[in-house]
Chains A and B, each alone.
Chain A
Amino acid sequence: MSAKFASIGAMLLALTASTALAQTKDTLTIDLPNDAATLDPHLQWNTDSYSIYRNIFDNLLTRDAKGEIVPQVAKSWKYLDDKTIEFQIRDDVTFQDGTKLTAEDVAFSINRIIDPKLKSPQLSQFDQIAKAEAVSPTVVKMTTKSAYPALLAQLVKLSIVPKAYVEKVGDQEFNVKPMGSGPYKMANWQKGVQTELEAYASYWRTKPPFQKVVFRTVPDVSTRIADLKTGKADLVRDVPPDQAESIKSDSNSQVLSVPTERIGYLFINAQGGVTKDVRVRQAIAYAIDRQALVEALLEGYGKPVEVLGAEPVFGYTDKVKGYEYNLDKAKELVKAAGAEGATVEFLTSPAYSRATVEAIQQMVNETGLKVEISSSDQATFLKRRQGDPANAGGLAFGAWSCACQDVDGVIFPLFRTGSIWAKYSNTKFDEAVDKARVILDQKERLKLYEQAYQILKDDVPGMGLYQAYALYGASKKLKWQPTANEAMFVTDMSWQQ
């Protein structure tokens, strides 16, 4: 009996010891709301997954702090013709098993992600690429199906994987034990619990700032904050604005916030229900007090916007003004449209701020419309929101970011005729955004987007509400400047000296 107790005691001691060890300065612990779905970078492009795997892999190209596309594994590139582009590959990059990264690996990575057999959900981002081949150990030639100006922006999302390793272990094993050329290598992945990464000492760009990085899965916000305050975590992601105060009041913690390219917006169905009438849509726009939303619900961590765009996004304009808050006008318009008492369905899911949705509901109800919220799980929400306009609800709230800092990634998918999100069609708008997509002259593009924004203002198939700020809770010892594209590169962080 006593032996049993002794062994339990030893176990407890070991457990306490292991938590104590995790607190040493070599380790950075980050609380994320969800676990990565996959760590094979060619399978999933979602925040939960790439927050982790972009520290394991390098990309062909990347974006700097300003959002410009800059070289990473590729040194430089040039177009041979409209459809062919040649990349010079660095020769000083090694994978975490010590082997050299060559043009072969780059070509393999591209061909792998476009191979239908991989069934990658990311295929849509790369399907314009016909093929890639290694011309020499440092040169890759890529051909696209047609002229494709967005190619470079898409290639920013391409991680380079080691050909030999992937072929040796197979896709399934690679997903569980990924290996790349990035600053951190996989140490241990306990699904649903945590992912441990270890520094890769011979990383080519810089010395990784921490010996070990642990990403923990903590779905509950208040728990993430408690972890931060008790020192179990050094950095926590996804802090809602009204919890920031609680972090600030703690002497060992700080709130890191940064205006992002993410825009809180309201979708208004222009092709179904009572919102088909443009007067009703304008009435809704007049009824929304953006300032109040930002002040009350975001507690200042956000900025009201006039259009569906924000400063860090190319194509953003301050020349087009939004609708001012004017309840009388809103009521008049609803009356004029004969829509008093008409029901408007407000689609939402637990993924979106319930408080914001309810606040908007109340504001729109003031106009004489009757807003009914339909909250379903995300899968059902998407099915309806992206489906038949007649069944897509009248309103929906969202927070959009393309992580590309270009309006093309915002208003094109949201409102271009035929896009899954668009419940709206205007040929003039389509012309403007189509054209802006294929020309390279930046001034001309800006002008086209200004036109497009003016059309959106008149038609109101949706409206921008606010520019969202990314909020992180961090230990005061941590030094890090978060960026507008909400990336989380561990190499940008360090301990305060």
Chain B
Amino acid sequence: MITLMTLAPLAAAILILAMPAQRARFTALLGALVSFTLTSWMLLQFDGNLIEVKHQWIPDLDINYHVGLDATNALVLFLAALLAPIVVCISWKHSDRPKTYFALLSIQFTGLFGTFTALNFFHWFIYWELALVPAFFLIKLFGKSEDRHKAAINFFLFTVLGSVAMLLGFLFLYQNTESFNFIELPEKIKSVEMNSLIFVAILAGLWVKVPLAPLHIWQAPAYAAAPTPVVILLTGVMSKMGVYGFLRLIVPIFPEQLRQHSEMLLGIALLTILWGAFLALRQTDLKKILAFSSLNHVAYCVLGIGALGIAANELKVDAHELVKQGIILQMFAHGLSAAGLFYLVGLLEQRTGIRNRDEFGGLCSVTPRFAAMFYSLTFCSLGLPFLAGFAAEFLIFSGSFALAPKMTALATLGLLATAVFLLTMLQRVFTGPINEKYQSMPDLTRNEILILTPIMILVIWAGTYPKTWLSFSQITP
């Protein structure tokens, strides 16, 4: 089932290449929908315990085909599977080299799903890289701005350098433990002497992917250059790969190293949170504002990871579990809200051709439905209660405050700065006198609202009643 779910988009990609161009989008949608349906069906039966599929491949090297669904990846897999059909729908009207485009998208879906389900390092790494390559081509071939080539190369180089470091780290790890199995590694690692360089190498790969300061500089140009559907994948799912990597690799496999380096991680996360927020304050390009906002939001997850490294002694709250659930929910929440916001900015760009915050004005009265959606998602992003962002951030903060009070207290400054730049964005775009040029800008169409509806529903659902969603990330007793 998991295998089918992972490979369905890949099969779609192969079919797309074999079929006439006008059927490409249907095939891609079909592949994504198959994955989504299978994922939903699996989640309905999921009770928090590991569901796994294991086939021998090269047993001598402990390389096996091993995929599974457990509390760590269930929600983020669902997010990826949900965004996949949405992304295809968003690019429905795409007419430039459709075969290449949809095939690349589908391949990327497979890469993403594979990364979230794989439990053996070998093919996990293959998927990890598989998710990267189509993104590179999608930015380079289908990006709009002039600097897309540079942005794509930058993105690729940074990520590949990180991946190389991680690969090396894992090879050393294999030498020490002779295991590639994510489930068994935590046990095996206890009995061997570990070089902290291995930890650093793996950390580096995730560091770039998340990204964290100071390796974040690929992010904003790449987000700004990429076509909207690709940005949605980049911010909605790919940045989650990094955080997921932390949860899957760093937390269970390197508890000791995490403990030693937690101060550093907390510091870096704090730096990223504040830096991202302050950078966003100065931008006028809407996509860059959202890119830095993403940087800031995903860094809350890493703040939580850093806090997980601190031992919980005599606390009145179950801080580690709070943080862990908060991180998972934050991935989910941010994936949804960022996807929605980038989609809306993409629509704005499509309608007006620009995305400079200062060139709009008064859109509130021109396009009320558009504004309502944009406001709601922005409020989710700035952590307004009863929307998904707040529940997640509160859980992270409540846990990490118990573990690392000072750092967390400082990190709340990020919430303040987030409010400032998001509200400034709303103010410039939607309020004030109406810009004559965009007076007749069309409001959201029925189809566009239809695409946004699942996102909105989930944002509100996860905000008011996160229990449903957290039941997937907690092992039900």
| Binding partners A and B | no
Binding site for B on A (CB under 8 A): none
